[in-house]
A and B are shown apart, each in its own frame.
Chain A
Amino acid sequence: MRSSPPHLETTCPYCGVGCGVSAKLRDDSIIAVSGDKTHPANYGALCVKGSALHETMGDHGRLLYPSVNGQRVDWDTALDTVARRLNEVREEHGPGAIAFYLSGQLLTEDYYVANKLAKGFLGTGNVDTNSRLCMSSAVASYKRAFGADAVPCSYEDLDHCDLLILVGSNAAWTHPVLYRRMAAAKKRNPTMRVVVIDPRRTASCDLADLHLPISPGADGYLFVGLLAWLQQTGASRSEYIAQHTEGYLEALEAANAISFAETARLVGLETDVLETFYQWFAETDKTITFYSQGINQSSSGTDKGNAIINCHLATGRIGKIGAGPFSITGQPNAMGGREVGGLANQLAAHMDYNPGDLRTVADFWATDQLCQQPGMKAVDLFDAVADGRIKAIWIMATNPVVSMPDANRVREALQRCETVIVSDCVAATDTTATADILLPATGWGEKNGTVTNSERRISRQRALIKPVGEAKDDWWIMTQVAQRLGFSEAFPYRSPRDVFVEHAALSGFRNGGTRIFNISGLSELSEQQYNDLSPIQWPVTAESPAGTTRLFTEGGFVTASGKARFIAIAPRLPVQPLSVTYPFALNTGRIRDQWHTMTRTARAQRLLNHIDAPFVLVHPETARTNELDDGDLAEVRTAHGAVRVGVILDEGIGKNQLFMPIHWNDQFARQARVCSVIAPLTDPVSGQPEFKFTPAALKKVATPVWAMVVSREPLECNEFIDWSMTPLTDNKGYCYRFAAAEGFDWQAFISQQGFTGNCAHYADTEHRDERFICYEGALVQMAIFSHHSLSLMPATSWLQGLLSREITSSPWQLLAGIDMNQPDRGKLICACFEVGEKQILAAIVDGANSTKALGEQLNCGTNCGSCIPELNKLINETLNVDAA
């Protein structure tokens, strides 16, 4: 018998687009990746992060073995210890003293087993997930409006819309493949308009016909005002409203409470600009409102979601081709987690804590231990860890010490907690540092199961290579623990398929059309069918065996009445107002080439070439009045703490606003965990924290001496005013940026690192210019370039390259900090082809006046396209300067 060739198609582990990835293997390694041309999420496209997936592999830095209290143990010991501790806590303090904190990076199968074990058999409802931080407001608003957490749209709607509204989304950087799809649609359809609503002028504005730089957090006013405008201008569809909705009048009444002029004032826009936007919305049937964390991460995020949905309901623009309120998730399997019910306020499979659903789930799982009450949401849950109500917490595939608001308090809570179990694929994270029990989990490329993307499409993430060390799948780990706890009968799983079919069966169990999440059509998959499963959009039932592209095409909402609900909304601004002490609105978000807490993306060196250090965006005028310049070190302080990051001047940000990336943490920088300064204020419905608005103060931190350092070994960084680090490819070493005190003794520093080899030293009595090349034989072990100005440092690429080649000249000549024969290409813009800003500017000056021409000349922007907005910006800036 000839076995069929193994599948090499899998799904990307980053954002919620859920792109198909084709891998190329050699000797049990993933040596290359490309976009899966058949996958409907991306049709062959990949963004820069996805394109670098193969560069993130390898066992360096991975968590390889289980350990208990810092001692390596075998799996049996680890699993016995976990089971014993959970049992002890449960017997002594009750099931509520146990918590699970899960992740949108878990596979659906892992999520299902976690949810079943916790809620069904340990009996604790304290199961929450990092999805709480990401899109729980979107879930809550969908549920309030449609009766179910159901995204009505498909990505193909982006191809067909005539008006695309990006609100609270910098898709160009956060969901690049969808953004390229939008750009392609706009190119095909010249009448298509794009509106970007964001306080900040982001890279996504490259596509915008209209950018609305609204006051931070004022989105609710904008869409509540739109509802009133639609009614006043006769654009609302009374027929649809009457037939498919309820609560319109109450919602309208609330909307009418604020005048148009007042709305314009509150959102901070000129009335004619506001009118243009409203008019475009009113006149365009095929309208998609594409929203993300900018809406969700707010103390009124659920209301904002509903304010958007209200406008779509009022115009009947739901379930239509090219129309709908389209929430995009940030994580690869946030949607899978929602489907499983892995949030504290959900029970399982789109069922809630009501008597009927409780009975259904208890019967299906055949358990008498089912938890009867919703558990605590993330912020409350960690509060309970802090005050000792929770005695044991099991954290999987996430890094709450970095990502939770008031993150320092979260760290303290975990440090105090009696039993912290962390399953992760990475050894050193800010969270694993707090663990009592560490369990090595399989990572992308090793683990096997399904994920659901933002358009409800279930795709397979496949195991392509053997797990590193002793890493195990999370579903397996939990199954083993469940069996040790005496639940062998309920946890008989031997493969992810066993778990998946049970999950599918539960979705159909006593469903009868009452629950829109129904994948019962997949409940009888064989191992082979499961393995072969092609991407498919739920619901998947006997009636729709090929899946479902669009929901609510003929109304048919999942409320008691079958009608969608308008929500009457009194919009609110962020909870904390700006003040004299904290005069800036601190906004947070993602950057183009990093993802989450960098545990994977920082493994690909080229992803750190675009932006290599934590930063705060500051308007040039704000910088001036605060005596800051580009590249200065600044302290951003809020009522909860302070971080230190480099200043980047940005004309595109408001004068009273700041923006910081969410990614950096204690593994990569001294003090740049932005969530440590975020208040734990949450949306009352969804429990999602207000990450997008924290009043903050800004001040310069003196940096007498800067240094760029590469080293093969990690360096002791305690003595520095500031540091940030980027790991180099293939574990070659580390690249540090240090800020040091006046008169810093580098010689002493070098010997403190235990370096005993040879050292070439350069010292200039001016500019605090001091350089060291520490070497052994023909290999550079460490190189230090220090100067009073950060702008006079060697090119990072040159510096990093020192560790990857032998010294061919005399070592002292490396102290030049520059390759005299190789011009500096400048800041990396195109990560795929490693094209730098200086090369691009030179080409533009030489006449390449379009992204197409630049692509033909330098290849930049021709692979993933993520850099196209930046290319356009460079073209515009250069040509405008020349014209002036």
Chain B
Amino acid sequence: MADSIAIVGTGMAGARLAEALVNGGFSGSITMIGEEPVKAYNRVQLSSLLTGDKTVDCLPLLSDDWYRANNIRLRCGDPLIQLDTGNLAITTASGWQEQFSRIVIATGSRPVVPAIPGNSLPGVMSFRTLDDVALMQDFALQGQRAVVVGGGLLGLEAAYGLNHLGLDVTVVHNSDNLMNRQLDATAAAMLKKSLEDRGISVLTGVRTKAVTGSERADGLMLENGDWLPGELVVFATGISPNVQVFRDSGLKINRGIVVDDQMHTSIKHIYALGECSEHNNTTVGIVAPIWEQAKVLAETLLGNSACYRPREHSTQLKVSGIDVFSAGRLNAGNSERNIVINDPSAGIYRRLVIDDNRLQAALLFGDKSLCSHYETLISDGQPLGVNANQLMFSDQTGQDVVREMK
């Protein structure tokens, strides 16, 4: 039997893997099976699409020509409904069925919407897909008020996009700090002010109680009794691995499908990567580690040895005029050396966390100078030179920038 690989999922992970396999000279056949009706696109750019900074034709990751030229079989809009792990066979919603020599699961994640009354009313949505963006844009044409639940990266980008489209937007966030996974209190406060300066209302430290409305959503009720009017309620309250369909397949699944360092699941010839997978008790939610996983898995499938080693990755908020960069673990302990720059009037905040003479985390607000340098230092874990006191200003950390009096 000829070597055939099925990639279940036409998201970014699947597309990247397919590309890597082709580039690596894979000689068998590749079949991609996906839920969304369109070919793989750059989900990261949805925010830019929403604001109009990017158009929809900028989004595809791979061109139609590429799929044709490399004989990729595509089944878009036809999700898998059953995986026969014993026979390595796939059944899709349309009833299509096929056996493969190897199967890769790259089904990604789904938005989590809290279980509160009214959460399925028309006007309540997530921010995850091209369809979501189209819905928001339609809504913006009628344009009134929107409430975004969730002050993380995605929620803020949605809020910014809706604000950009002319909506009156309020962000509600359950933690006291926006982007609390990436920012400290100082940066979060500066971010809140920056958003407010752009006309976005921000409520932090509040919990949602219910979406109100009879026919469709008309607002959001908070646990504190306040009511926020909003004909559009966007939930950006997190994601969970999209693995429900595999629960009874025999694959070992915790939050995500458990994989080893070669992205191998618990069952032979079946692999997983991306947001649906779980490596070393950790699931991923940003694109950078997924690129790394795709690389490792492509090598594995090509018969080469490769090993996935999770590294610290950075996040950046894609809100025009608000530069936010965060990398590494900010709050691992309290014995670290902290170097902080703060210029409130200029909207500048920079914090570097150093532990054991290694850069552990970097948080940049207002000016992302040197961010890629910090990202490298953090992920490589290389020891700093004696001139760590210049780390904030210079990438010459390998050399001694001598500063002397007189």
Which residues of A are in contact with B by a Cβ distance under 8 Å?
612, 631, 708, 758-767, 769, 773, 790-796, 810-813, 815-818, 820, 824, 826-828, 837
CA distance A760 to B346 in the complex (A): 8
Cβ B406 vs Cβ A761 within 8 A:
no
Instruction: Report the 3 A-B pairs with minimum CB-CB distance, sorted nearest first.
Output: A816-B393, A760-B343, A827-B406
Complex partner residue of A761 from B337, B341, B404, B405, CB under 8 angstroms: B341
Cβ A790 vs Cβ B405 within 8 A:
yes
B1 CB-CB contact with A under 8 Å:
no
Cβ A820 vs Cβ B393 within 8 A:
yes
Cβ B338 vs Cβ A758 within 8 A:
no
CA distance A812 to B346 in the complex (A): 9
Cβ B343 vs Cβ A796 within 8 A:
no
CA distance A796 to B405 in the complex (A): 6
CA distance A837 to B392 in the complex (A): 28
Closest to A794 in B: B403
Cβ A793 vs Cβ B346 within 8 A:
no
Cβ B346 vs Cβ A810 within 8 A:
yes
- Which label, helix, strand, loop or mixed, suits the secondary structure of the A interface? mixed
CA distance A725 to B343 in the complex (A): 27
Q: Could you name 25 residue pairs across A and B whose Cβ atoms are closer than 8 Å? A: A612-B406, A708-B405, A758-B343, A758-B346, A760-B341, A760-B346, A761-B340, A761-B341, A762-B392, A763-B338, A763-B341, A764-B338, A764-B339, A765-B337, A790-B405, A810-B346, A810-B367, A811-B343, A817-B403, A818-B401, A820-B393, A824-B402, A824-B403, A826-B406, A827-B406
Cβ A762 vs Cβ B406 within 8 A:
no
Cβ A769 vs Cβ B341 within 8 A:
no
Complex partner residue of B405 from A762, A791, A816, CB under 8 angstroms: A791
Q: Which residues of B contact A810 (CB under 8 A)?
A: 346, 348, 367
CA distance A815 to B389 in the complex (A): 11
> Interface 1/0s, chain B 369-406, versus A by CB < 8 A?
10000000000000000000110111000000111111
B342 CB-CB contact with A under 8 Å:
yes
Distance in Å from the Cβ of B90 to the closest Cβ of chain A? 55
Q: How many residues of B contact A (CB 8 A)?
A: 24
* Interface positions of B from 177 to 207, Cβ below 8 Å from A: none
Q: Which residues of B contact A813 (CB under 8 A)?
A: 369, 393
Complex partner residue of B394 from A767, A792, A820, A824, CB under 8 angstroms: A820
Cβ A793 vs Cβ B338 within 8 A:
no
Cβ A812 vs Cβ B405 within 8 A:
no
Closest to B350 in A: A812
> Interface 1/0s, chain B 327-354, versus A by CB < 8 A?
0000000000111111101101010000
Q: Which residues of A contact B389 (CB under 8 A)?
A: 764, 767, 769, 792
Cβ B337 vs Cβ A766 within 8 A:
yes
CA distance A794 to B337 in the complex (A): 22
Cβ B348 vs Cβ A760 within 8 A:
yes
CA distance A766 to B337 in the complex (A): 6
Closest to B340 in A: A763
CA distance A837 to B405 in the complex (A): 12
Cβ A762 vs Cβ B340 within 8 A:
yes
Starting from the known contacts A769-B389, A790-B405, A810-B367, 15 additional A-B residue pairs (CB-CB under 8 Å) come to A631-B405, A758-B343, A762-B392, A763-B339, A764-B337, A764-B339, A765-B337, A765-B338, A766-B337, A795-B403, A795-B404, A795-B405, A815-B393, A817-B403, A826-B406
* Interface positions of B from 148 to 195, Cβ below 8 Å from A: none
Q: Which residues of B contact A765 (CB under 8 A)?
A: 337-339
CA distance A708 to B392 in the complex (A): 20
Complex partner residue of B339 from A708, A762, A818, CB under 8 angstroms: A762
Cβ A758 vs Cβ B345 within 8 A:
yes
Q: Which residues of A contact B342 (CB under 8 A)?
A: 760-761, 763
Q: Which residues of B contact A631 (CB under 8 A)?
A: 405
Instruction: List the count of A-B residue pairs having beta carbons below 8 Å apart.
Output: 92
Q: Which residues of B contact A795 (CB under 8 A)?
A: 403-406
Closest to A797 in B: B406
Residue from B340, B348, B367, B403 having most chain A Cβ neighbours under 10 A: B403
Q: Which residues of B contact A794 (CB under 8 A)?
A: 403, 405
Complex partner residue of B403 from A763, A767, A792, CB under 8 angstroms: A792
CA distance A143 to B70 in the complex (A): 112
CA distance A766 to B340 in the complex (A): 11
CA distance A817 to B402 in the complex (A): 11
Given contacts A760-B346, A760-B348, contact A793 B405 (CB under 8 A): yes
Q: Which residues of B contact A817 (CB under 8 A)?
A: 403
Q: Which residues of A contact B403 (CB under 8 A)?
A: 792-795, 817-818, 824
* Interface positions of B from 211 to 230, Cβ below 8 Å from A: none
Complex partner residue of B348 from A708, A764, A792, A812, CB under 8 angstroms: A812
CA distance A138 to B341 in the complex (A): 61
Cβ A812 vs Cβ B343 within 8 A:
yes
CA distance A309 to B393 in the complex (A): 65
CA distance A820 to B402 in the complex (A): 11
Closest to A765 in B: B338
Given contacts A760-B346, A767-B389, A810-B367, contact A796 B340 (CB under 8 A): no
Distance in Å from the Cβ of A788 to the closest Cβ of chain B? 12
Complex partner residue of A812 from B337, B341, B406, CB under 8 angstroms: B341
Q: Which residues of B contact A766 (CB under 8 A)?
A: 337
Given contacts A811-B343, A815-B341, contact A796 B393 (CB under 8 A): no
CA distance A793 to B406 in the complex (A): 8
CA distance A70 to B390 in the complex (A): 50
Closest to B393 in A: A816
Cβ B392 vs Cβ A815 within 8 A:
yes
Q: Which residues of B contact A612 (CB under 8 A)?
A: 406
Q: Which residues of B contact A820 (CB under 8 A)?
A: 393-394, 401
CA distance A507 to B177 in the complex (A): 90
CA distance A539 to B406 in the complex (A): 49
Q: Which residues of B contact A759 (CB under 8 A)?
A: 343, 345
Closest to A817 in B: B403
Residue from B338, B346, B367, B390 having most chain A Cβ neighbours under 10 A: B346
CA distance A869 to B346 in the complex (A): 49
CA distance A612 to B406 in the complex (A): 8
Q: Which residues of A contact B401 (CB under 8 A)?
A: 818, 820
CA distance A437 to B362 in the complex (A): 62
Distance in Å from the Cβ of A579 to the closest Cβ of chain B? 35
Closest to B354 in A: A766
Distance in Å from the Cβ of B333 to the closest Cβ of chain A? 13
Q: Which residues of B contact A816 (CB under 8 A)?
A: 390, 392-394
Q: Which residues of A contact B345 (CB under 8 A)?
A: 758-759
Distance in Å from the Cβ of A141 to the closest Cβ of chain B? 41
* Interface positions of B from 241 to 294, Cβ below 8 Å from A: none
Distance in Å from the Cβ of B70 to the closest Cβ of chain A? 47
Distance in Å from the Cβ of A619 to the closest Cβ of chain B? 21
CA distance A818 to B400 in the complex (A): 13
Residue from B337, B393, B404, B405 having most chain A Cβ neighbours under 10 A: B405
Residue from B367, B390, B406 having most chain A Cβ neighbours under 10 A: B406
Q: Which residues of B contact A791 (CB under 8 A)?
A: 404-405
Complex partner residue of B367 from A793, A812, A837, CB under 8 angstroms: A812
